[in-house]
């Protein structure tokens, strides 16, 4: 099987690492294409080292830019790669622009698409990620879901049950395989933060940081929470730029602003935290498995399982709501919630087995299928994949 895996942004790397290992374990050597959507060393290359991801077979180096330009440029560059190294299947993960571009390119070239983390919906089409998810799922042949709501969403959208596979969460595969290493680093101790007595904040989503009213309100809440417990804040480059542009800051002395962290350091910080405040979808999942109380600084989530049985709570962006929820969390237990079904570290193994079995079956059927003949022109027609 010729299989290409496309990744390009920090959340993608955590998801492709276990899939690559699982495929190699059944003697399938995937071709890894790094789109270069994230180009900063701390946001990209260090993840390859820490997650033991092999060097990409191709690095498209698209870099930063307007979303429309970036997607169009990726489609062009990916089409050249797929033409030169035509895969039997293209595997995409998550919901970033690289995911959308790869899915559209493969679909146009009649190459089956496998979407890892399919079916997640926030039902908010102002989110760029939501449009990416909808379109990617619409053109995918294999839809690998991480929670029950994802399958329900896909079925409601008319996807046939035969194309949907409940496999679990590949990002949790990575977390469980690297947790001991993250804990051994003891990043909180090195920063002078008391174990389970500090708050981690992550903030990067466009709807929060590009809106000065929302950004100011959230950072006001961060300052107020820091009056009750130390806060560590790995500052995303986009958020840093917007704070400077809007003239917001500096934050109080109780907030420790640090550079974006590598995967292991960030995981270690979250694992030992008393509370996490975030607008990241992936962090919602990580805190659910670690059972760390989490406040999501959004009004919706595409990962409802993290609220239904996990440790997550939606609090929006108003300072008063965030602070009230944080103080309430401080009064509660240090660890809460349950771990969702199939979040057991074997999602990638299931994906590899399904792809191997189904693609081999489809190829066998294509070989055995008699050629279709157009009797009017006496010309063979290509059988559907």
DSSP string covering 10-47, please? HHHHHHHHHHHHHHHHTT--PEEEE--S---GGGTHHH
SS3 for 96? coil
What pLDDT does 376 receive? 36
The CATH T-level fold of domain 177-331 is: Rossmann fold (3.40.50)
Q: Where are the chain's structural domains?
A: 3-167+346-381, 177-331
What pLDDT does 42 receive? 54
Spatial contact of 312 and 296, defined as CB atoms under 8 Å apart: yes
How many CB atoms neighbour CB 357 within 10 A? Answer: 10
What pLDDT does 380 receive? 40
Distance CA 98, CA 122 (A): 19
**Residues listed for the chain:** 385
Indicate yes or no: pTM above 0.85.
yes
Distance CA 248, CA 126 (A): 25
What pLDDT does 109 receive? 98
Spatial contact of 3 and 87, defined as CB atoms under 8 Å apart: yes
Active-site residue among 161, 204, 236, 318? 204
- Among this protein's residues, is 204 annotated catalytic? yes
Distance CA 188, CA 335 (A): 18
Distance CA 34, CA 292 (A): 32
Class of domain 3-167+346-381: alpha beta
Distance CA 340, CA 289 (A): 8
CATH topology agreement for domains 3-167+346-381 and 177-331: yes
Q: Which portions of the chain are predicted below pLDDT 50?
A: 370-385
Distance CA 145, CA 150 (A): 6
Spatial contact of 32 and 57, defined as CB atoms under 8 Å apart: yes
């Amino acid at each position: 099987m010729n299989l290409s895996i496309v990744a390009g942004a920090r959340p993608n790397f955590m998801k492709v690492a276990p899939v690559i290992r699982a495929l190699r374990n059944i003697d399938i050597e995937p071709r890894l294409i790094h789109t270069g959507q994230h180009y900063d060393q701390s946001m990209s290359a260090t993840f390859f080292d820490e997650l033991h991801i092999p060097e990409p077979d191709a690095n498209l180096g698209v870099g930063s830019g307007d979303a429309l330009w970036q997607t169009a440029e990726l489609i062009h560059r990916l089409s050249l790669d797929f033409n030169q190294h035509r895969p039997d299947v293209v595997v995409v993960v998550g919901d970033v622009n690289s995911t959308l571009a790869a899915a559209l390119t493969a679909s146009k070239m009649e190459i089956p698409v496998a979407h890892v983390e399919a079916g997640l919906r926030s039902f908010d089409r102002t989110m760029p990620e939501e449009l990416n998810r909808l379109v990617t799922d619409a053109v995918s042949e294999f839809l690998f879901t991480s929670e029950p709501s994802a399958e329900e969403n896909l079925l409601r959208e008319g996807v046939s049950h035969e194309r949907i596979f409940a496999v679990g969460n590949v990002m949790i595969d990575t977390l469980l395989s690297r947790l001991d290493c993250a804990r051994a680093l003891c990043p909180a101790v090195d920063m002078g933060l008391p174990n389970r007595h500090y708050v981690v904040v992550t903030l990067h989503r466009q709807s929060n940081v590009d809106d000065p009213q929302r950004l100011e309100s959230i950072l006001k809440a961060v300052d107020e929470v820091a009056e009750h417990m130390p806060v560590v804040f790995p500052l995303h480059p986009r958020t840093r730029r917007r704070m400077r542009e809007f003239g917001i800051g500096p934050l109080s002395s109780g907030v420790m602003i640090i550079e974006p962290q590598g995967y292991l350091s960030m995981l270690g910080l979250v694992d030992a935290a008393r509370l996490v405040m975030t607008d990241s979808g992936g962090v919602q999942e990580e805190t659910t498995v670690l059972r760390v109380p989490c406040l999501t600084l959004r009004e919706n989530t595409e990962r409802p399982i993290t609220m239904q049985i996990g440790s997550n709570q939606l609090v929006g962006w108003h300072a008063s709501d965030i602070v009230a929820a944080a103080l309430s969390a401080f009064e509660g237990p240090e660890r809460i919630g349950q771990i969702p079904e199939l979040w057991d570290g074997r999602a990638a193994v299931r994906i590899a087995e399904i792809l191997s079995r189904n693609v081999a079956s489809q190829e066998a059927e294509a070989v055995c299928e008699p050629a279709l003949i157009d009797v009017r022109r006496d010309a063979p027609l290509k059988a559907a994949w």
